[in-house]
Amino acid sequence: MKIFRLYGLSFALACLLYLNPLTGWSTESLPVEPDLGTRVDELYDHEARLFIMLYSLRGNGQIDYVTARLVQEYSRSSYGNPIYQTEAQPLFYWWNHIMWNDPEQDGVNGNERVYQENTDFDISRYKPCLFNGQPC
C-alpha cells in the first residue's frame, strides 16, 4: 500500500512540474524594453563585451531598468567616438531587484528566465568614484 501511495505522489509531482515548468521564482513579468527617451546613460563593459543601457522609468534620473546587449564589433569613429555593433535584442535585463536572462535574444515576450533575484545593477563597478560629491 505504501508503494502505491509513493508512486501516486511521485506521479502527481512529475505531472505538476511538467505542466508548470520552473523558469524562475518571480511572479512578476518583465516589462518591455523602455523607450530611448527614458535612457539616462550607457556603458560599455570591455571584459564581458556588453553594451549596457540604463533607464529611468519614473523620469526622476534614478536608474530602475537596465539592458545589456552583446557587442559583435567595436570601433572608433574618425572623431574618436565609440561605435558599437550590437545584437538587436538584449541578453540581460535588470528590473525590480531581479536580473533576467533572455538566451534567445528575441525581446521581452515571456520566455525570459530569472537569472538572479534580490540583486540590483551595480553601477559602481563602472563609475566607482565621486568628485566633490558629484558622480564622475
56-94 residue pLDDT tens? 999 999 999 999 999 999 999 999 999 999 999 999 999
Q: How many CB atoms lie within 10 A of CB 57?
A: 14
Residue 91 CA to residue 103 CA, distance in Å, equals 6
The pair phi, psi for residue 9, each rounded to 5°, is -65, -40
**Considering the entire predicted model, what is its pTM?**
0.74
pLDDT for position 19:
44
42-54 residue pLDDT tens? 999 999 999 999 9
- Judge whether residue 28 has pLDDT over 80: no
Question: Domain boundaries in the chain?
Answer: 33-124
Find out whether 105 and 112 touch, Cβ atoms under 8 Å.
no
Query: Residue 3: which pLDDT band, with cuts at 50, 70 and 90?
Result: low
